Amino acid sequence: MLVIVGPTAAGKTKLATAVAQALSGEIISADSMQIYRGMDIGSAKPTAEERRAVVHHLIDFADPALDFSVAEYQGRARAAIRDIARRGALPILVGGTGLYVNAVLYDMDFSAPPRGRDFRERLLREAAEEDAARLHARLCAVNPEAAARIHPNNVKRVVRALEISESAGALRPFSASFLAPWREIRPLIVRLTRERAELYARIEQRVDAFFSAGLIHEVKTLAARGLSESHIAMKGIGYKEILGYLRGEYDLARAVELVKQNSRRYAKRQNTWFKRYEDARVINLSAYADETDACADISEAWRRFCADNARTRARKEGL
The CATH 3.40.50.300 domain(s) of the chain lie at 2-108+173-318
Distance CA 294, CA 18 (A): 10
Distance CA 35, CA 126 (A): 35
The CATH 1.10.20.140 domain(s) of the chain lie at 116-167
Q: How confident is the model at residue 313 (pLDDT cuts 50, 70, 90)?
A: confident
* pLDDT tens digits, one per residue of 138-188: 787 777 767 777 877 788 888 888 877 766 555 554 443 346 789 999 999
Amino acid at 60: D
Q: Which residue in 245, 263, 236, 242 sits closest to 39, CA to CA?
A: 236
> Residue 115's pLDDT is what?
55
> Residue 90's pLDDT is what?
98
> Residue 26's pLDDT is what?
98
Rounded to an integer, the average pLDDT of 59-72 is 92
pLDDT averaged over the chain? 89
> Residue 319's pLDDT is what?
64
Chain centroid offset of residue 216 CA: 24
> Residue 131's pLDDT is what?
67
Give me the residues paired with residue 94 across strands: 4, 29
Cα dist. 268→132, 201, 219, 246 in Å? 26, 14, 25, 28
Residue 38 and residue 223 in contact, taking contact as beta carbons nearer than 8 Å: no
Residue 169 and residue 191 in contact, taking contact as beta carbons nearer than 8 Å: no
> Residue 282's pLDDT is what?
97
Residue 198 and residue 286 in contact, taking contact as beta carbons nearer than 8 Å: yes
In CATH, which superfamily holds the domain spanning 2-108+173-318? P-loop containing nucleotide triphosphate hydrolases (3.40.50.300)
Q: If you ran DSSP here, which 8-state letter would residue 235 be given?
A: G
Of 1.10.20.140, 1.25.40.10, 1.20.1730.10, 3.30.2270.10, the CATH number of 116-167 is 1.10.20.140
Residue 152 and residue 136 in contact, taking contact as beta carbons nearer than 8 Å: yes
* pLDDT tens digits, one per residue of 171-180: 554 443 346 7
Q: Which of 34-43, 116-125, 171-180, 281-290 has the lowest mean pLDDT?
A: 171-180
Q: Which residue in 209, 200, 194, 196 sits closest to 261, CA to CA?
A: 200
Answer whether residue 30 shows pLDDT above 70.
yes
Q: Which of 22-36, 68-82, 172-186, 211-225 has the lowest mean pLDDT?
A: 172-186
Collapsing DSSP to helix, strand or coil, 272 comes out as helix
Q: How confident is the model at residue 61 (pLDDT cuts 50, 70, 90)?
A: very high
> Residue 117's pLDDT is what?
64
Distance CA 191, CA 115 (A): 29
Residue 16 and residue 191 in contact, taking contact as beta carbons nearer than 8 Å: no
Answer whether residue 258 shows pLDDT above 80.
yes
Q: What is the C-alpha radius of gyration for the chain, rounded to an integer number of angstroms?
A: 20
Collapsing DSSP to helix, strand or coil, 31 comes out as coil
* pLDDT tens digits, one per residue of 275-301: 989 899 999 999 999 889 999 999 999
Look at the chain and count its residues.
319
- Is the model more confident about 58 or about 165? 58
Q: What's the pTM value of the predicted model, to 2 decimals?
A: 0.83
Residue 206: which residues within 8 A CB-CB, separation 6 or more? 8, 9, 44, 263
Amino acid at 215: L
Q: Which of 100-104, 162-166, 184-188, 252-256 has the lowest mean pLDDT?
A: 162-166
